[in-house]
Structure 1
Amino acid sequence: MRSHNFDSIQHGRRRLVMALPLMACGLVVAPVQAKAGVHQVSQVLMGTRVDLTLQDDDASVLPAAAHAAFAEMTRLADMMSRYRSTSVLNAINLMAGLRPVPVPAELMQVLQMARQAAQASGGQFDTTVGSLRDWNFDPEHPVIPSAQQIAAQLSLVDQEHGLVIDEGAGTAYLTKRGMRLDLGGIAKLPILQAGLRQLQRHGLANAMINGGGDVLVMGRLNGRPWRVGLRDPRHPEKVLGMVSLTQGFIAASGDYERFVMQQGKRLHHILDPRTGYPTQGPHGVTLISEQLEAINGLGTALMVAGADAGRARIARTPGVDALIVDADNSLWLSPGMASRLGRA
């Protein structure tokens, strides 16, 4: 269930074009006209472009607030990237089967979220898919592992028994040599939330953070709710509709953003921890909630579980609105999502 791998997306194709809507994995954010008190800035983080749109009566405070938000998000992304040799996460991977590694409180929180997501999904969310290390979905240098490689590495995918978290000691430990964590499907929302908290500490009440498929908002823009378009996974160049938010999180997962082609078949970046291969279920899942914990990791789990299981999971998950496009291109909206799209 690999998703949103840090630092692995080609940055050159994500240039900022302010004359066009800001498009991300599953989401489209309407452009903002230059007005007094509005500040927009972008930076590449976690292998994707992160856009901040801020508004305040005192525009002079906005650049410093944006700088603080990016500094905090960069610090956490560096901590949790498996591609950065000096990251704490990489230390856990390197010490797999050898010894526990001390982890900062922020990483411990993400690991606990990963454990909760795995338990809630019955193992369909599993951060140890990082052990399937031979996949590479870079379109310029794609790598598709052999069946033998996948079979050998699949024995290392077992978060339930293979990841030991000791909250008291503040350590994390992978029990088997060669086991690897990939936090791409669980770390980005908390990192973006940390940026939003920095903005709040600087006194801002109106902000949006758009990070490659995940959007966080608070307050309003020009006195009106923030408007975000939901991309159609069947036709990624099109928008299904707009939603309006003054607070909350939008998270999108899909098979259309990063993939390679093999013998006419599209192989995408979300891996099934049960098989070691890309998921065969929905084309895309979009979730909305006011609670980060309610949706963090859920989209990836539903991509693995399939549309039928996804609808059942959403029905028993209060406070979450969902859009699911199944493998047969059928579209399903939860009642809350249908209402949101109808009002937008």
Structure 2
Amino acid sequence: MGQSPALGRWLFWGAVAAAVLLLLWLLNDILLPFVVGMVVAYFLDPVVVRLERARLSRTMATTVVTILAVLAAVGIVMAILPPLFGQIQSLITSAPEYIVKAMGRIQPLLEPLRNRLGFDPPSIHDLQAEATQWAGKGLAFAGGLVGAVAERGVAIINLLGLLFITPVVTFYLLRDWEKLMAAIDGTLPLDHADTIRKLARESNAAIAGYMRGQALVCLSLGTFYGIGLTLVGLQFGLVIGLIAGAISFIPFVGTFVGAVMALGMALAQFPPEWMGVVKVAVVFLLGQTLEGNFLSPKLVGDRVGLHPVWIMFALLAGGSLFGFTGVLIAVPVAAVLGVIVRHFVARYRESDLYRGSSNG
């Protein structure tokens, strides 16, 4: 018997998807500059469109936006990275000492619970030895990872790619964005083109709503936490604040990690002046209030349709399969898959498979 047309189409698109995944896996080491360029172009396309409405040509608008974006990136890097690297180096060096101090402050508070459970209290010497051992393991792991990557030449390739290839990719994608979209639209299968366009519009709304909105949320929180923790006098406040803001796109994780680091540092630094610890806690409470009541509702909203657990799973899966490149594309892919799944669930509920033959 011959193959049905529907089965043939499914086999064809399944083979295309498998080929794309295989290609991504094989070229994973060199994809980072191109993926970053695509992400940046996606973010900047609305700005180019607005300049076009101001009667600039697409090429001129793209040139202006690309130059301003590169200058802004260079300026931010030059202003932030030197003090940031200095604080990171000092934080890594001093981490065992601060961990011991923080545990020394916390231990008396846990004394009743320890007595009830019958645990022996660890000595300060044991805490210091344990902290030093874990810090050494962490530095050794990081050093080994950097060395392994550098030996393969991936680090140099990606660094040069980010510096030189990404701006070029961003420029050409921005300039030819409409042509690229038209070319893709022209290759859609005719009998499903309208459905695919509808799904693409919904996917774009979900991706834009989350990616652009969440990027602004992370930038705002990182700035707020960095400045706030520095103003209350917390050592390494800039580093901790920027880390908390940068990973705020992972639901609950950014806040938890940032609060633990900040409060741990505050416990090691401020007591017996407990007001400093209170000030650090207030900074995070204000940050969470700002995010929950203003930033996320205004910048991200409820139209995204991405559950926090689905986002965390997508980030872990993308990172496991494709490294940092996978993390960058994880949320867009999750958004598209979410739209497709909701579409097929709706189709299923309209079909006889769900309704049954008696309800037809």
Instruction: Tell me whether the two structures share a fold, i.e. TM-score over 0.5.
Output: no
More strand by share: 1
Q: TM-score range by the shorter chain?
A: under 0.3
TM-score normalised per structure 1: 0.27
Compute the TM-score of the two structures, normalised by the length of structure 2: 0.26
More helix by share: 2
